[in-house]
Structure formats: C-alpha cells, structure tokens
Amino acid sequence: MIIKEYRIPLPLSVDEFERGLLYAVSACSRNETGGGEGAEFLVQEDFTSDTLRPGQTVSGTYTKKIYRLRSKAPWVLQKLLPAEAFEIHEESWNAYPYCKTVLTKWYFQNPGYMKENFHQVIETLHLPDNGSTENALDGPEKREVIWVDIADNDIFGAKNYKKEKDARLFEPDVVERGPLDDDWIDEHDPIMCAYKLVSCHFKWTGLQRMVEKTIHKQYPRVFGLMHRDAYVLLDEWYNMSMDSIREYEEETAHVLRKQLADPEKRGTTCDDDANNNK
C-alpha cells in the first residue's frame, strides 16, 4: 500500500468552497460522461455516523456512484488490464469540511473477484490556511507530501489545456479574485487548503507496486482539474444557494443517465507524455 498526502490551496474561503465543490463535481461529471463512460449516480441520501471519524459524530450526504474510465486511464493500464477493470465503485461521505471517499470493486460484472485486494481511500479536510498545517489528517510520519497548484498548467497535460479554464488568466465578474500570479499561495486573501490523504492498495502479484505508483501519478492532475474547475466556474455558482446546488445535483443524475447512452465520448484524457515527463 502507498499512502501520500496532497495539498491543494484555493483562492476561496472554506464556506465558499463547499458550494463550489458540489457544483464542480456535477459540472465535471456532465463534461466527462458519454459514450458508455463516465459517472452514474446510484444513491444519494443523508447520513449520520459516529464511526466515520473516531470520537466524533458527523452528518452529511452519502453518495454511491459507478465510474467507467477505460479511455481516461494511462495507456500502460489499458494494455495490462481488461475493460472490466476500469469500472470502479465509489462511496462518499460528505460531512464538510471533512469528507471520505472509498473506491472499490473493479470487475463490475464479478465484484467479488478482487475482494479486499483493491481499494483506495481518500480522506479530505478543508482548512482556512495555505497548506501550512502539518499532518492535518494524522497520516503516517514518512508519507510523501505533494502540492497541487491549480495555476500550474503543466500538471494538467497539454491535451487538456483550455484558455477559458486557465487559473492564471481567470478573473471572475461576481467577486474580486485573481488573477493568480507566482506568489498567490502565500499572498492571496481569502485562502484555504484541501488536505487529501490517499491510500492506494492493489494486491496483484507482479503488478502491485507499478499499478499503485501509476494510480498515484494521476492524482495531481485529477485533483488539480476538479479544484481548478471549482475556481474558474465561480461566476456560475457563487450566487447559488445550497438548495439550488442540491437541485443541480439531482438534475445532473438524470442528465448522466442519458449521456451514458450517447455514442460520443466526452472530456479529458490521460496525457501520458506529459505525465511521464514530470
């Protein structure tokens, strides 16, 4: 198992980002779903738990989805693994500012195939600082810490660059923010950071270490895209209420079911050349 911590600073307040994150997840799901690939919502309901975070009782929204991601995976994994390997179940408990996501069950048609031999766990805590909190999620002392700068276009890959989503150029109309210069993480106000502790376990003799490293290699791009979109879509969600955001999520679930049946694939691809040069 490989465990790494990712820190993603954002030019937003923690309260603002709650709405921005929910909106961006739905918007990105629409942009990335089509041609039989992307996200499918199965369950969305309220929850309360006294076991999710030891010593605390938390409540929020539980969701369950299936992601079908073959064409978005690194070339080497597409060659090594069958198509069924890219059907991933996601369970998520959003008790913002804390969230937990568990990815399991590759081989959707035979979900017991790998059993406990494949899982990824992503714990997230959103704090009002620029990434200065050490070990916010109580990870192992020797974990690698990786910074993800949403204004660093290199992490997204040349194939996925869009000028309208360049955080270095974006200046919203609804509120004064940006543009983000080289020192924005140290100087911007407001500022917050999403801390993500990610554990990846793939037990398959001969492939374990390589697959775990390859999966982790994608996370700067994946996290960067999602959090950058939450920022550059700010004009769309900033004046929306939480009730309006929830309505948008419900609408998105219906839209995704239709888009999955469409023949056209949508969204970003894995830029292997860009990632290999990192």
Does residue 274 have a pLDDT over 50? no
Per-residue burial over 159-186, b = 16 or more CB atoms within 10 Å of its CB, e = otherwise = ebeeeebbbeebebeeeebbebeeebbe
Query: What domains can be seen in the chain, in order of their start residue?
Result: 2-48+60-255 (3.30.530.20)
pLDDT in tens, 139-170: 999 999 999 999 999 998 887 788 999 999 99
Predicted pLDDT of residue 32: 62
DSSP-assigned beta bridge partners for residue 64: 43, 91
Alpha-carbon Rg of the chain, whole angstroms? 18
Q: Which residue has the higher pLDDT, 85 or 230?
A: 230
36-45, 63-72, 104-113, 237-246: lowest mean pLDDT where? 104-113
pLDDT in tens, 215-273: 768 888 889 999 999 999 999 999 999 999 999 988 887 887 776 656 555 455 455 54
- Model pTM above 0.85: no
Predicted pLDDT of residue 275: 43
Predicted pLDDT of residue 222: 87
125-134, 149-158, 185-194: lowest mean pLDDT where? 149-158
Closest CA to 139 of 238, 3, 2: 3
Cβ-Cβ contacts under 8 Å for 271 (sequence gap 6 or more): 156, 157, 158, 159, 160, 221
CA distances from 200 to 66, 100, 212, 224 (A): 18, 14, 6, 18
Q: Which residue has the higher pLDDT, 145 or 202?
A: 145
Q: Which residue has the higher pLDDT, 42 or 148?
A: 148
Predicted pLDDT of residue 207: 57
Given pLDDT bands bounded at 50, 70 and 90, which one contains residue 106? very low
Express as a percent the part of the chain with pLDDT over 90.
52
